[in-house]
Structure 1
Amino acid sequence: MPNNNKELILSAPLSGPVLTLANVPDAVFASGAMGDGIAIDPLNDTLYAPCDAEVIHVARTGHAVTLRADNGAELLLHLGLDTVELQGDGFSMLVKEGARVSHGQPLLRYDVDKVALRCKSLVSLLVITNGERFQARPITLEGVKVGEPLLHILAKAGGQAEHHEQDGGIEVFGQVRIAHRGGLHARPAALVRQTAQGFKSRSQLHFDGKSASCDSVMGMMGLAITEQAQVHVSCRGSDAEAALQALLATLSTALVEEAHASAPPPEPPRANAEAGVLHGVCAAPGLVTGPLVRLSGIQLPEDIGGHAIEEQRQHLNEALAQVRSEIHLTLEHARARQHRDEEAIFSAHLALLEDPLLLDAADLFIEQGSAAPHAWSRSIDAQCQVLQQLGSTLLAERANDLRDLRQRVLRVLLGEAWQFDVAAGAIVAAQELTPSDLLQLSAQGVAGVCMVEGGATSHVAILARGKGLPCLVALGEALLAQAPGQSVVLDADGGRLELTPTAERLAQVRQAQTRRTALRAQQQTLAHTPARTVDGVEVEVAANVASSAEAGASFANGADGVGLLRTEFLFVDRHTAPDEEEQRQAYQAVLDAMGNRPVIIRTIDVGGDKQLDYLPLPSEANPVLGLRGIRLAQVRPDLLDQQLRALLQTRPLDRCRILLPMVTEVDELMHIRQRLDALGTELGLSERPQLGVMIEVPAAALLAEQLAEHADFLSIGTNDLSQYTLAMDRDHAGLAARVDALHPALLRLIAQTCAGAARHGRWVGVCGALASDPLATPVLIGLGVRELSVSPPQIGEIKDRVRHLDAAQCARLSSELLNLGSALAVRRACHRHWPLG
């Protein structure tokens, strides 16, 4: 019945399972072109009026009728898809145009068998055709019987759309072949959503007779779009053309699962021909032994009902906010450690956590009386079922990302501890682990993981490979029948879990583990000695750090110095800037932690993606190309002067080296050198610290010779240099894997930087992620780099790598790499010339 606010509850006109329009196998209806609404896959043979209304149109072929409800909503009831082609055969219309009908009155009957055999689908629609005035909210997404509440109709305030602009403006169309490996799964779908949300226009994907809004990751994943499939894109609005081109580019740009190494090829599970052995698929290589420990998922208590709806909504919203915060923290850590795969995975999780299909379904279940944990769990289960029924192994694996979100949110809602009680060295067995589980277990030092389900392309597999954690998947239900505590052998390379290994076999595996441990220990023992190539070229291996504690750990690991101290750690997560004395103490603590070794301290590098609450910068269309790094001196010279004064008061000053970020021209360097001199004079100092320039934009690399004339050293930041050279945002989840600093264009800039510095007798270091890549070590040495600043745990490994190289050979072969055509070609050549392991 309508009320004074023009609200209306529509009842089910048919009996059967309920579908959202996005899951209707018809591009026109699913795209929302006809309006908002809902669908039913009918089990009965009669269509009934969902409310009191007037019949304003009857289809000539008898398959559809349009009603005008008393509140003005115009409702199209359309039985089946493509049924117009039946020309009325099998349909009996029971009402006429202009007639007044009552709620529950029969409108048309049809011959179920005749129509079902001849039409595309019996899925039937209830659509609001004047959607500019009304919006529809489903009351249920489960099966209904005729007459049960189905849809809540609300008048729009001012008749305006809520998210994108009104469906005015031009509409444009395009088509593209999907380049993403494995099709449009979670991460590429998250990228499409991210792209679409940058425009005012409404955007839709159309594939195989179905459509989905680009605002919904779940809706797009539900289309089951496969790799190399041809899809259509439509955009309507004032910026439709720009939106279309951006979406076509996103869809046609492959998201590389792993930039630096291909996943081990999955092998089909073999039959259990051997007693005491379970066979599975290798997701991450390795050979380990340890006690088997089983993990179980969260079991929800019985839902006793009687909940206050608003209270349950608040519980869920608070839990979602906490998990979002946790994921943001995970993303920050991944970015800081340059773990691009991890970053991409949890960026997709963040998008899923904000997906309207999930949130609306959970809210609906709460409205129907479910407690928040049960509503969230039911919402996730429903979407997992959709993905698993699409016939795609890859999409079925992506349902694991949803289970991860279910588990994380439930832990918050139920107050359960996040940490697993698993001892280091254990081999974990589970039905299926989630990405968050994997990160926790890796941090606790487990030896390996194995799962009943899962796949070699899953996010868990990607993370396990990145962590060097042996992982076996698809072992089958027999895995969970094994007694916990027994010693097993996980031979991931061979796809085997050996349940009853002999003493001899256990000894053999332990010996292999011991050899690997010994190699790492040997590298660590030699980490405190200089790294010289076989032909006598010494290369300093320093550490990238962000605190005095990290500097101390790096010193213990054998670092030859600090190649990059990121001073942002002093400025973030606070409401006011640190004063001069606080800064001086922090910088002095790092110098003290490094003994007699040099420390390169980068001046504050904020702006772009690093904003400070107490340092409001002008709003910029593209902050990454705006006021960041040394350009901050343009708007806050006092902040930089304060930092320079603090640095000038450290002792001994000859071990303090200052590095300037985002320099693009010589005048910027000269200005800071003049300020340094003036401040030093004010402080009565007779000496000055070395002043270096960070080479992280192409302009600086191209002007390296001119900069080297006035700088004491150059340090290449390959992370930013890569994104600025390749015109790819390194924080863009879909492109980050392609931002590869071994691209020949980058290598040419590095070579030019080294050649320019050499003309003035200056040394060149690399402090970006490329320095930590052992595959790149010979290339950098060959191009003339003489200092590598790496992540602290890799100091011993990189030094060991240097000691096995011939610098003259590196120079000869590296010059040839500059003529190759891609980063992939360079990496292949590096594997051929300087194999790892």
Structure 2
Amino acid sequence: MSEFTLIAPIAGWAMPLTEVADPAFAQGMVGQGLAIEPTGDTLHSPCDGQVLTIHAARHAITLCDANGVELLMHIGIDSVALGRDGFTALVAPGDRVKTGDPLIRFDLDLLVMRAQAATTPIIVAGDGVTIVERFTDRLVAVGDPLMRLLVETSGDTTTASGERHSRDVTVALDHGLHARPAGRIVAALRALDASANLRTGEHTASAASSIALLGLGLSHGSAVTIDAEGPDAAVALDAIAAVLTTPEANAAPPPPVARPVVTLPDGAIAGVCAAPGLALGTARWLRRARPVPLASTGAVAERAALYRGIAAVEAQLAADASGHGQAAGVFAAHREILADPTLRTAAIARVQAGDSAAAAILATTDDQAATLRASADARIAERADDLVDVGERVAHAILGTSDAMPSLAAGTILLAGDLLPSHFAALDAASIAGIALVRGGPTAHVAILSAGAGIPMVVALRNALEDVADDTPMLLDGDAGYVLASPSADVITAARATIDRRTAAEARARALGDAAVTTTDGTAIAVQANCGSAADAATAQAAGADGCGLLRTEFLFLDRATAPDRAEQRCAYAAVMSALPGKPVTIRLLDVGGDKPAPYLDLPAEENPALGLRGVRVSLARPDVLDAQLTAILSLPDLAHARIMVPMVASADELAAVRAALTRLAPGTHIQLGAMIETPAAAIGADLIARHADFLSIGSNDLAQYTLAADRGNASVAAMLDGLHPAVLRLIAETCTRAGSTPVSVCGGLAADPLAAPILIGLGVRTLSVPPGRIAATKALVTAHALFALRTHAQQALALASAAEVRALARRFAEENAA
């Protein structure tokens, strides 16, 4: 340990950071330290060290001393907007400086007039650095003691603080640099002590800004240079390169399966289905009023107004994002947008140039939205609406206005040019039968919210929708993707019958609640939920789930720079179990590799990752990761209801190895251990695996992929991938037969398919694990059939030649048995 004192680098009043008029400094987001309200005009070095960086605007400088302590000195608040005016750098990056050496000279009068404040934060960073004492609330002169530091020293006086690394890579992402990998880059960098940029052509973007990264428009095959600087520069470089160079073919939804051509009724307006369902109602236009900015009252007042508006919206978004479900996720994404440093910096620059606060935020978000709309990737383009939404919310907060939603009569078909997520959240969803938009896209956040609320939506109806007047009777078909104004009596009658039938089925499903269900002849079938979080588990509990049949633990391991420790894992698993009290929770061991890379595991690049190191193979190759996860599970308070499921088991030896690890870690403790059946080898060898297993669970998605040799992420063969193919069904039948008395469940997508579930039960499956939203409907389906009828149905399916024939049989069975 060593102790030393930093001197005051500038004359003035020393004050705590909490008194700085900038939340980033006042709340400690930038780091620890203090600030000085300057009376002098020269910034000096507070210690011996080396200059690391000088900002292009010359208002900020970073230093590093011999112990690895890093210092940031930021002259003024929002002084970057001065654009070098009044600042003169007296040193350059790489220079060695002594205590008291002058670093930057500045025009104090200009700073006071044009910046938000002249306050100069002094920030301390570095491993093992503790501020023992701050000399604040006093006048200081250059050279006076300012902060006393305690530093843990390792004996190595070399420093990597100034390390700089660059690497040229080619983007291997199938869909280019879109929102998901951009978010992974930002998340990875956030956990590291490094800064990084991406360069392509004449364009550069900070790796700390997902908006800036998306604006680069990087596509598959694009050449890009990664520049990283700081103590963790090498790690940052590897993490960013791993994201850019690892194909993620399965990251996007598979292309839609071809459907029969739909013949539209005469007079129908064709659009694009964004949320399924059928609706009858009365048209009502929503004409939104965009905020109208006022003239600037001066840069100082407008900066303050901008910060107040941002803070108000931040608080509201925090509340919006604290709930459950898809809406919470959307508003969490909006919080990330609002926290983006490039957005704030650009808005401040506009204020400094003479814009009012409201005009600045609107123009900034409009510009950034235009960049996204120019993308060839529809999913990126549709995120532009989120930027506009955030900008309008901040502008309304600044102006003290609101974009209040009108009251709507029950049965309204809402018509709009477009709809933003915040507007959707403010609507009375119970009054809306359907939504029709002139613009919009099927993957926009508002479409996701509409589908989650069960409101049919059709988008991209274009100008033809403008001809529909308020109060016009309307049919909206979210399944076929069209709207029909003033439908005939026959059309209305047929649509009403379909809606009534669906409504009755949903009511019966909800009425089942938490009750256990059986077939009509008394065979118990458990309906459990696939979960990825405690919020999912809470939703499943409310829907009446019999437990969790699949807890995906990889959500803890992905999109981060280091693996979660045992305490973090235990806390996450315990939260899920608390949300499903007294019910079984099946915790799947880490399932990464293939389409789910975790860069910090240092998995090798593979030509065919789907057939490489993934699933249980990763855990067995990294016993430290396996032991940490097993220990976290074994320390759960309600161990009697916890079950462990091993992914991608291909042989009995793999499951036996995990069983041996459990025995080694907790001798004499028994916890149910099961295997996922996801390969033909596992299905045919189910009897061998069952000798070591308490249960088997079929992952139908991967089983279909490996059986049919059709990659889910390959658009040219994805349409072939159907779990109802007779070959897949025969392997499921073999699994159930060979498992003997070992229970078999299905946790893949096939379990939630209403055409497939009756066949699965007929083949011998006794637990179906489905998304929380399908719990009630699946329970209702179970209670509608006798087991002997399902067995006959399943045997008929096994005798067919194709998935299409099986689906035709399943549809006919459903129609014949409809209530």
Bin for the TM-score computed over the shorter chain: 0.5 to 0.7
Counterpart of 1:383, as a letter, is: Q
| Per-residue deviation, residues 647-706 of structure 1 (Å, max 9, x unmatched) | xxxxxxxxxx73345794367489989679xxxxxxxxxxxxxx74466899xx999989
| Per-residue deviation, residues 256-292 of structure 1 (Å, max 9, x unmatched) | 575466288999xx9xx987x6554443454422112
| Per-residue deviation, residues 531-582 of structure 1 (Å, max 9, x unmatched) | 5599x97644356898999899656xxx7x556799x9xxxxxxxxxxxxxx
Aligned to 2:446: 460
Among 165, 171, 174, the residue aligned to 1:176:
171
Assess, with a 3 A threshold, how the Cα gap between structure 1 residues 374 and 213 changes in structure 2: closer, same or farther.
same
Counterpart of 2:470, as a letter, is: P
Task: Give, in whole Å, the separation in 2 of the partners of 1:384 and 1:295.
Answer: 22
What SS does the corresponding residue of 1:219 show, helix, strand or coil?
helix
| Per-residue deviation, residues 387-409 of structure 1 (Å, max 9, x unmatched) | 44678866543311212323555
CA drift of 1:380 comes to: 1.6
TM-score w.r.t. the length of structure 1 is 0.54
Matches within 5 A, 1:595-610: 600-602=583-585
1:250 lines up with 2:243 in the alignment:
yes
Among 458, 465, 485, the residue aligned to 1:499:
485
Assess, with a 3 A threshold, how the Cα gap between structure 1 residues 154 and 515 changes in structure 2: closer, same or farther.
same
Counterpart of 2:164, as a letter, is: G
Aligned to 2:199: 206
Among 360, 383, 386, the residue aligned to 2:345:
360
Matches within 5 A, 1:438-587: 438=424, 443-444=429-430, 446-464=432-450, 469-476=455-462, 479=465, 482-492=468-478, 495-518=481-504, 520=506, 532=519, 539-541=525-527, 561-562=546-547
Gaps of 5+ in 2: 1-37, 44-52, 59-82, 96-102, 107-112, 127-159, 554-573, 592-600, 603-621, 647-657, 707-717, 815-819
Gaps of 5+ in 1: 8-32, 39-66, 75-127, 137-147, 569-582, 592-598, 609-619, 645-656, 677-690, 726-736, 818-825
Aligned to 2:631: 631
Aligned to 2:743: 763
Task: Give, in whole Å, the separation in 2 of the partners of 1:629 and 1:419.
Answer: 48
Does the CA contact (< 8 Å) of 2:288 and 2:403 recur in 1? no
Task: Give, in whole Å, the separation in 1 of the partners of 2:341 and 2:312.
Answer: 16
Counterpart of 1:235, as a letter, is: D
Does the CA contact (< 8 Å) of 2:318 and 2:332 recur in 1? no
Task: Give, in whole Å, the separation in 1 of the partners of 2:760 and 2:754.
Answer: 10
Does the CA contact (< 8 Å) of 1:542 and 1:562 recur in 2? yes
Task: Give, in whole Å, the separation in 2 of the partners of 1:281 and 1:382.
Answer: 27
Aligned to 1:329: 322
Task: Give, in whole Å, the separation in 1 of the partners of 2:285 and 2:366.
Answer: 23
Does the CA contact (< 8 Å) of 1:428 and 1:450 recur in 2? yes
Task: Give, in whole Å, the separation in 1 of the partners of 2:434 and 2:235.
Answer: 47
Task: Give, in whole Å, the separation in 1 of the partners of 2:724 and 2:334.
Answer: 29
Does the CA contact (< 8 Å) of 1:172 and 1:241 recur in 2? no
1:194 lines up with 2:194 in the alignment:
no
Counterpart of 2:641, as a letter, is: I
CA drift of 1:314 comes to: 4.8
Does the CA contact (< 8 Å) of 1:190 and 1:348 recur in 2? no
Task: Give, in whole Å, the separation in 2 of the partners of 1:393 and 1:518.
Answer: 37
Among 704, 714, 720, the residue aligned to 2:695:
714
Does the CA contact (< 8 Å) of 1:453 and 1:473 recur in 2? yes
Task: Give, in whole Å, the separation in 1 of the partners of 2:456 and 2:276.
Answer: 5
| Per-residue deviation, residues 520-541 of structure 1 (Å, max 9, x unmatched) | 467778998965599x976443
Task: Give, in whole Å, the separation in 2 of the partners of 1:554 and 1:387.
Answer: 38
Task: Give, in whole Å, the separation in 1 of the partners of 2:294 and 2:352.
Answer: 14
Counterpart of 2:767, as a letter, is: E
Assess, with a 3 A threshold, how the Cα gap between structure 1 residues 484 and 602 changes in structure 2: closer, same or farther.
same
What SS does the corresponding residue of 2:309 show, helix, strand or coil?
helix
Does the CA contact (< 8 Å) of 1:171 and 1:235 recur in 2? yes
Aligned to 1:236: 228
Does the CA contact (< 8 Å) of 1:757 and 1:764 recur in 2? no
Assess, with a 3 A threshold, how the Cα gap between structure 1 residues 720 and 441 changes in structure 2: closer, same or farther.
farther
Assess, with a 3 A threshold, how the Cα gap between structure 1 residues 211 and 280 changes in structure 2: closer, same or farther.
same
Does the CA contact (< 8 Å) of 1:174 and 1:244 recur in 2? no
Counterpart of 1:283, as a letter, is: A
| Per-residue deviation, residues 473-510 of structure 1 (Å, max 9, x unmatched) | 23345645644333212245565433333334333332
Counterpart of 1:288, as a letter, is: A
| Per-residue deviation, residues 96-121 of structure 1 (Å, max 9, x unmatched) | xxxxxxxxxxxxxxxxxxxxxxxxxx
Counterpart of 1:318, as a letter, is: A
Aligned to 1:300: 291
1:665 lines up with 2:645 in the alignment:
no
1:218 lines up with 2:211 in the alignment:
yes
Assess, with a 3 A threshold, how the Cα gap between structure 1 residues 800 and 516 changes in structure 2: closer, same or farther.
same
Aligned to 1:289: 280
Does the CA contact (< 8 Å) of 2:589 and 2:645 recur in 1? no
Counterpart of 2:171, as a letter, is: V
Does the CA contact (< 8 Å) of 1:285 and 1:493 recur in 2? yes
What SS does the corresponding residue of 2:389 show, helix, strand or coil?
helix
Assess, with a 3 A threshold, how the Cα gap between structure 1 residues 782 and 303 changes in structure 2: closer, same or farther.
same
Task: Give, in whole Å, the separation in 2 of the partners of 1:515 and 1:354.
Answer: 47
CA drift of 1:427 comes to: 1.2
Task: Give, in whole Å, the separation in 2 of the partners of 1:494 and 1:602.
Answer: 38
Assess, with a 3 A threshold, how the Cα gap between structure 1 residues 298 and 308 changes in structure 2: closer, same or farther.
same
Matches within 5 A, 1:736-747: none
Aligned to 2:11: none
Decide which moves more: 522-531 or 214-223. Answer: 522-531
Assess, with a 3 A threshold, how the Cα gap between structure 1 residues 240 and 350 changes in structure 2: closer, same or farther.
same
Task: Give, in whole Å, the separation in 1 of the partners of 2:172 and 2:367.
Answer: 29
1:405 lines up with 2:398 in the alignment:
no
CA drift of 1:179 comes to: 1.6
Does the CA contact (< 8 Å) of 1:35 and 1:130 recur in 2? no
Decide which moves more: 425-434 or 370-379. Answer: 370-379
Does the CA contact (< 8 Å) of 1:214 and 1:220 recur in 2? yes
Counterpart of 1:428, as a letter, is: L
Task: Give, in whole Å, the separation in 1 of the partners of 2:478 and 2:517.
Answer: 36
Does the CA contact (< 8 Å) of 2:457 and 2:478 recur in 1? yes
What SS does the corresponding residue of 1:329 show, helix, strand or coil?
coil
CA drift of 1:219 comes to: 1.9
Aligned to 1:11: none
TM-score w.r.t. the length of structure 2 is 0.55
Task: Give, in whole Å, the separation in 1 of the partners of 2:661 and 2:178.
Answer: 48
Task: Give, in whole Å, the separation in 1 of the partners of 2:722 and 2:193.
Answer: 35
Does the CA contact (< 8 Å) of 1:603 and 1:661 recur in 2? yes
Task: Give, in whole Å, the separation in 2 of the partners of 1:433 and 1:517.
Answer: 27
Assess, with a 3 A threshold, how the Cα gap between structure 1 residues 543 and 282 changes in structure 2: closer, same or farther.
closer
Aligned to 2:767: 787
Does the CA contact (< 8 Å) of 2:516 and 2:526 recur in 1? no
Task: Give, in whole Å, the separation in 2 of the partners of 1:130 and 1:717.
Answer: 59
Counterpart of 1:216, as a letter, is: S
| Per-residue deviation, residues 613-657 of structure 1 (Å, max 9, x unmatched) | xxxxxxx999994787762477xx6x72xx57xxxxxxxxxxxx7
Does the CA contact (< 8 Å) of 1:266 and 1:283 recur in 2? no
Does the CA contact (< 8 Å) of 1:772 and 1:789 recur in 2? yes
CA drift of 1:426 comes to: 1.9
Assess, with a 3 A threshold, how the Cα gap between structure 1 residues 783 and 36 changes in structure 2: closer, same or farther.
farther
Matches within 5 A, 1:634-783: 640=637, 643=638, 658-661=641-644, 664-665=658-659, 668=662, 692-693=672-673, 714=695, 716=697, 758=739, 761-765=741-745, 771-774=751-754, 777=757
What SS does the corresponding residue of 1:485 show, helix, strand or coil?
coil
Task: Give, in whole Å, the separation in 2 of the partners of 1:248 and 1:829.
Answer: 46
